[in-house]
Amino acid sequence: SWDDDAFVRDRATGRFFDRAKLHTLDHRGRFFQVAGPLNIQRSPQGQPVIFQAGSSDAGIGLAGKYADAVFTHSPSLDETAAFAQRVKQSAVEHGRRADDVKIFPGIGPIVGRTAAEAEDKYQAIRDLLTIDEALAYLGRFFDHHDFTQYPLDAPFPELGDLGRNSFRSTTDRIKADAKRDGRTLRETALAVATPRPNFIGTAEHVADELIRWFDAGAGDGFILGFPVQAQGVDDFIELVIPALEARGRYRRELPGSTLRDHLGLPRKASRYAQPDPAREPAAETHA
């Protein structure tokens, strides 16, 4: 409700606050009205970082207009890089810079001291899953549809518009993959519930893949999620981070004190400060 420099605190003049830099909202809506001002200062970031997810045309448009960062799936490098380009182009079309929106693919690395060890870890995870659990997980994306009513080894069923209002991009991809590869329901459910990660292998291989994706524009960073949390986190910290450091692609020191600083995002200016605030250059981002 007030500009960042509204508190003058000038003892010589006895002036504590510049009332010209105090703003009232004067909101009058359908359900409530309020004049303001709010008696809380702005966030040190200007505005909290807005993360958004959604790969549909509507989701990309929303991200380009409002989002600071976008979470996305990572089916392949080419698809993820193309998605990132579409989001950044949407930002430009909404009068922003392409770099004002950061892309963060979600990945689930499986790391071993050898490639065979990593493969064994993946197979062990797959062996834990029953087909009933896989069907239930698949159903979540299709409005909690009951897939047990279909023959497991028949082609993946036609589902119409199920799931298109909640997980549209995900369900479209599931159906397209099943049709392209001629998958049965069993194969589709297992593939969705335990997908083979793009990042599986030795620490050196995973580090090289992270760098390759980053350099190809498929992400400004990555959101890590591990099939086995404790072991996966430990493996990544103990094995992959040193490999990234050896390649000069991991930073120990962060560039500031806020999440915006860490992500290389400019501080949000007050909407009252000036109509077209100068933007700060984005900081370097590391894989």
pLDDT computed for residue 101 by the predictor: 97
pLDDT computed for residue 37 by the predictor: 86
Q: Which amino acid is at 125?
A: I
pLDDT computed for residue 106 by the predictor: 94
178-199 pLDDT per residue, tens: 999 999 999 999 999 998 889 9
pLDDT computed for residue 184 by the predictor: 97
pLDDT computed for residue 277 by the predictor: 40
State the Cα–Cα distance between residues 211 and 134, nearest whole angstrom: 32
CB atoms within 10 A of CB 210: 26
Which positions ≥6 away from 109 have C-beta within 8 Å?
197, 199, 200, 206, 224, 226, 232, 235, 236, 240
Domains of the chain, start order: 1-41 (no CATH), 51-114+198-263 (3.20.20.30), 130-193 (no CATH)
pLDDT computed for residue 116 by the predictor: 98
The answer to whether the bond into 105 is cis (omega within 30° of 0) is: no
Task: Write out the chain's pLDDT in tens, 287 residues.
Answer: 888 888 999 999 999 999 988 888 888 999 999 988 888 888 889 899 999 998 889 999 999 999 999 999 888 999 999 999 999 999 999 999 999 999 999 999 999 999 999 999 999 999 999 999 999 999 999 999 999 999 999 999 999 888 777 788 889 999 999 999 999 999 999 999 998 889 999 999 999 999 999 999 999 999 999 888 788 999 999 999 999 999 999 998 988 999 999 999 988 887 776 554 444 444 444 44
Give yes or no for a contact between 22 and 37, defined as CB atoms under 8 angstroms apart: yes
pLDDT computed for residue 274 by the predictor: 59
The pTM is what? 0.79
Spatial CA neighbour of 145 closest among 129, 130, 159? 159
118-152 pLDDT per residue, tens: 999 999 999 999 999 999 999 999 999 999 999 99
Helix ranges (H only) for the chain are 57-66, 77-93, 115-127, 131-141, 168-181, 185-193, 203-215, 229-235, 241-246, 259-263
Tokens of 144: 């909690």
